[in-house]
Amino acid sequence: MNKMPKWADVILTPVISLVLAMAISAFVILAIGESPTVALTTMIDGALGSSYGWGFTLYYATNFIFTGLAVMVAYHASLFNIGGEGQAAMGGLGVALVLLSLPLPHWALALPAAMIGAALFGAAWALIPAWLQAKRGSHIVITTIMFNFIAAAALNYILVNLLRPVGSMDPASGRFPEATHLPKLSDMALALGFEWGKNTPVNISFFVAVIACVLVWLLIWRSRLGFEIRAFGKSEPAALYAGINPVRITVIAMLISGGLAGLMAINNVMGEAERLVLNAVEGAGFIGIAVALMGRNHPLGVFLAALLFGFLYQGGGELALWTSIPRELIIVIQALVILFTGALDNMVRMPLERMFLAMRKRGA
């Protein structure tokens, strides 16, 4: 019944998309007079060639896992949450308020407290668009986009006028107490007796992200709530017939989604910057959309896609550092990957399906 085997659907299609994106990127690099092979080796070396590179790749991937999961959960309820950026920014505010106001003696206490703050603020920021969608029919894509701008402006004001320490010229909060700093993976490696990823920001949040993948999988595919979310996402009339309340599901799915986006703040705000700075999210909210699309809205896919985008982020940075290829080109490469794996998915998928059908026909 299926048009092609599962492995072709899950692995072959994205890999071919990726190769196509790389090929066009190579042409662009050629066109500006640089060598694509040098570019590729620089990226791979810089992102994956050393534990230092891996440390950054995994750090970025952690951000993308959270925002990718956020987009994915909403997607299963047929809601396109483009507000990950704003929700993650608000999550950062939650983390900062928790860590700056509560005297937490140890990171093991600070982490759960910060997670609650991050998730609550992220979820709250998703609640208003969710409610407007459920009750008033305002389109969630429009409202969540708008809420990104509102979040940016609100954070700007809060940082400059409320959280900025007296006398500081920097629009950022004060540093979080030393006791609340999260252990870096490099510290953990040292404790185990080997050196890994020295001076990299990847921290224990990476494991939280991996656990989040498992929990989201349980939620969507094993729980009653997930059943209702998926049923509602596939057909609202059927959900009504089955006694699933659309308002409730819309709100709950968006709360979970916003909470996951907000959780990203434990990585970038708490784990890396150790204070709240302006524009801390750096577009990770938007990358989450591509990650969820490329990951085919499955936590394992999200995890792998997040790794890929982590690689592109870190590799791109290295490219700008070591070659004369401008930083902007990496945005072109990333955009091509998003274009091919997301928007042009069917361009690769349909010829593949036809090919597999033809092969099956010949085999039959």
Partner 1 sequence: MMQGGGRLETAAPAAIELRGISKAFGSVQANRDIYLRVERGTIHGIIGENGAGKSTLMSILYGFYKPDAGEILVGGRPLTIADSQTAIRAGIGMVFQHFKLVQNFTVLENIILGAEEGRLLRPSLSKARGVLRQLAKDYELNVDPDEVVENLSVGHQQRVEILKALYRQADILILDEPTGVLTPAEADHLFRILEGLRAEGKTIILITHKLREIMEITDTVSVMRRGEMVASVKTAETSPEQLAELMVGRKVLLNVQKVPATPGKPVLEVRGLRMVDAAGVERLRGIDLDIRAGEILGVAGVSGNGQTQLLEILGGYPEKGSTVTGKARVNGTPLPLSGAGCNAAERRRQGLGHIPEDRQVEGLIMDFAAWENVAFGYHDAPEYGRGPLMDRDAIRRDAEGKIARFDVRPPSCDLAARNFSGGNQQKIVVAREIERNPDLLLIGQPTRGVDIGAIEFIHKRIVELRDAGKAILLVSVELDEIMSLSDRIAVMFDGRIMGERLPGATTTGELGLLMAGVDPATAPTRDGTLPAHTP
Q: Give dist(CA 7, CA 214) in Å, integer.
A: 21
Please identify, among the stretches 10-18, 40-48, 227-235, 259-267, the one whose residues bind partner 1 according to the rule CB under 8 A.
Answer: 227-235
What is the closest distance, in whole angstroms, from the C-beta atom of residue 250 to partner 1 in the complex? 13
Residue 222 in the binding site for partner 1 (CB under 8 A): yes
Identity of the residue, 156 or 235, whose beta carbon is nearer to partner 1 in the bound complex:
235
Nearest one of 256, 258, 278 to 269, comparing CA atoms: 278
Among 44, 164, 230, 282, which residue sits at the site for partner 1 (rule: CB under 8 A)? 230
- Number of amino acids touching partner 1 (CB under 8 A): 24
* 235 forms part of the interface with partner 1 (CB under 8 A): yes
350 binds partner 1 (CB under 8 A): no
The reply to whether 362 sits near partner 1 by the rule CB under 8 A is no
Report the nearest approach of partner 1 to the CB of residue 11 (Å). Answer: 21
Tell me the two tokens of residue 252. Answer: 């709950």
**Collapsing DSSP states into helix, strand and coil, what is residue 49?**
coil
Q: Classify the C-alpha dihedral 321-325-327-331 as positive or negative.
A: negative
Options 120, 130, 132, 231; binder of partner 1; rule CB under 8 A: 231
CB atoms within 10 A of CB 238: 11
Q: Select 103 or 237, whichever has its Cβ closest to partner 1.
A: 237
Tokens of 213: 């993948």
Minimum CB distance to partner 1 smaller for 234 or for 327: 234
CA 279, 61, 49, 345 torsion-angle sign: negative
| Cα(118)–Cα(364) distance, integer angstroms | 55
Q: How many CA atoms lie within 13 A of 234 on its CB side?
A: 9
245 membership: H or E segment, kind and range:
none
Please report, as residue ranges, which positions from 168 to 187 form the binding site for partner 1 (by CB under 8 A). Answer: none
The contact set with partner 1 (CB under 8 A) reads 1, 218, 222-225, 227-228, 230-231, 234-235, 237-238, 240-245, 357, 360-361, 364
